Amino acid sequence: KTKIYKIDKNNIDDNKIKEAAAILKEGGLVAFPTETVYGLGANALDVDAANKIYKAKGRPSDNPLIVHIANVESLNELVAYLPEKGKKVIEAFWPGPLTLILNKSKNIPDNITGGLNTVAVRMPSHPIAIEVIKEAKIPIAAPSANTSGRPSPTNANHVIEDLEGKIDMIIDGGMVDIGLESTVIDFTSDIPLILRPGYITKEMIENVIGKIEIDKALLEEFAHSEAPRSPGMKYKHYAPKAPLNIIDGELDKVVCKINELLLDNEKKGLKVGIIATKQTKMYYNSGIVKVIGDRNHENEIAKHLFKTLREFDALGVDIILSESFNENYLGQAIMNRLLKASGYKIIKVN
């Protein structure tokens, strides 16, 4: 029922792109790769098509969707107004992993924005995503192509796991580059506000437009108290099936604590998963140890995070223990996703 097509992003088969675009134009659902994660696309101007997205994902209807476009001119029909700072950021980072929240135009159906008067827009850089949107000649609403609440999909198998049988087509374009969803930044107030950290960091944006802010609800100590501005941030997200605990502190103490918790849990007969790094994996002598990447290469850690959580699901572990990562630059996005995946279960060891 769900067509699964492999497309080589360096040698794109136009016929397959045309087929995908035709499905989208008719109001169907197509999952495709972007540079961040796989997206589940539908015609953003078609109420019924957008409703199908919520249904396929099991997504709460008040959690709005990002509208994807293939050229800047398409913005005109989607937003009421583009402020100067927004313009500059678009010039600097589009196409790429950055989503802008802007005041919406009347063309956007209410179910796309969860009833808000703002709309999220992004121009992806992945050649397959761009070709599909260009060929369809319509703006494409696309949340991450996972079942709501599960880790976002970074390869086509993750999409197949969650959505096969529920959507019309899945384009397999291999593993994504970044592995974390786009940075979301709100331009509807004077000082732009980051609602979701991502590959494009606060520092990178400030280099272009000066001072911006980061939503306080994203900071750990506010996670439970403040109402998040981005509706999506209030739901349980990215969560593996087993409880996940993050152990935070100096690295040698973290490793000691994980080994201690590992023994405790194994004594109870539990199967323990450990999220380790290239630098630490040799210090764990039991449990199921997965290396998420090299501590000196945050890009690797970002790229492998969601995949690692899904691997532990497949292995049926009872509990997952994760090292923490420093929060500089891309680390902020990594820790944001990890904290959310854990439900903010963090054990400090200093």
Residue 8: alpha-carbon gap to chain centroid: 22
Count the alpha carbons within 13 Å of 268 in the hemisphere toward its beta carbon.
10
118 binds, among ligand TXA, Mg ion, none (CB under 5 to 8 A by kind): ligand TXA
Q: Please identify which residue in 119, 123, 247, 319 interacts with ligand TXA, judged by CB under 6 A.
A: 119
Question: Residue 134 and residue 137: Cα distance in Å, rounded?
Answer: 5
Question: Residue 69 and residue 108: Cα distance in Å, rounded?
Answer: 13
- Which DSSP string do the residues of 210-262 spell out, in sequence order? ---EE-GGGSGGGTTTSPPSSGGGGS--S--SS-EEEEESSHHHHHHHHHHHH
Residue number, 36 or 144, with CB nearest to Mg ion: 144
Nearest to 196 by CA among 88, 340, 11: 340
Closest contact distance (angstroms) between CB of 242 and ligand TXA is 22
Closest contact distance (angstroms) between CB of 287 and ligand TXA is 31
What is the binding site for Mg ion (CB under 5 A)? 144
Residue number, 109 or 153, with CB nearest to Mg ion: 153
Q: Is 182 annotated as a binding residue?
A: yes
Residue number, 217 or 291, with CB nearest to ligand TXA: 217
Residue corresponding to tokens 């497309």: 7
Residue 210: left if φ>0, alpha if ψ -120 to 50, beta else—which one?
Answer: left
139-158 binders of ligand TXA (CB under 6 A): 142-144
The length of the chain in residues reads: 350
Q: Applying CB under 6 A, does 83 fall inside the site for ligand TXA?
A: no
Q: Please identify which residue in 43, 74, 99, 336 interacts with ligand TXA, judged by CB under 6 A.
A: 99
Q: Is 68 annotated as a binding residue?
A: yes
Cβ atoms of 292 and 300 closer than 8 Å: yes
Residue corresponding to tokens 């000691």: 256
119 binds, among ligand TXA, Mg ion, none (CB under 5 to 8 A by kind): ligand TXA
- Identify the three-state secondary structure at position 265: helix
Residue number, 40 or 123, with CB nearest to Mg ion: 40
Q: Applying CB under 6 A, does 339 fall inside the site for ligand TXA?
A: no
> Using CB atoms, what's the residue nearest to Mg ion?
144
CA trace torsion 116, 180, 153, 96 (10° rounding):
70
Residue 250: alpha-carbon gap to chain centroid: 28
Q: Please identify which residue in 43, 111, 113, 308 interacts with ligand TXA, judged by CB under 6 A.
A: 113
Residue number, 51 or 265, with CB nearest to ligand TXA: 51
66 binds, among ligand TXA, Mg ion, none (CB under 5 to 8 A by kind): ligand TXA
Which residues fall within 8 angstroms of residue 316, CB to CB, at 6 or more apart?
241, 271
Piece of the chain touching ligand TXA by CB under 6 A; list 6-14, 62-70, 158-166, 311-319: 62-70
Residue corresponding to tokens 């990002």: 66
Q: Is 229 annotated as a binding residue?
A: no
Quick one: which H or E segment has residue 319?
A: strand 319-323
Instruction: Give buried/exposed letters for 164-176 (b at 16+ CB in 10 A, else e).
Output: eebbbbbbbbeeb
Q: Is 118 annotated as a binding residue?
A: yes
171-230 binders of ligand TXA (CB under 6 A): 181-182, 184, 195-196, 230
Q: Is 142 annotated as a binding residue?
A: yes
Residue 41: alpha-carbon gap to chain centroid: 14
Closest contact distance (angstroms) between CB of 323 and ligand TXA is 25
Closest contact distance (angstroms) between CB of 264 and ligand TXA is 35
**Can you say which residues are annotated as belonging to the binding site for L-threonine?**
36, 68, 122, 142, 182
**Can you say which residues are annotated as belonging to the binding site for ATP?**
59, 63, 118, 144, 152, 196, 238
Q: Contact positions toward ligand TXA, by CB under 6 A?
A: 34, 36-37, 39, 63-66, 97, 99, 101, 113, 116, 118-120, 122, 124, 142-144, 181-182, 184, 195-196, 230-233
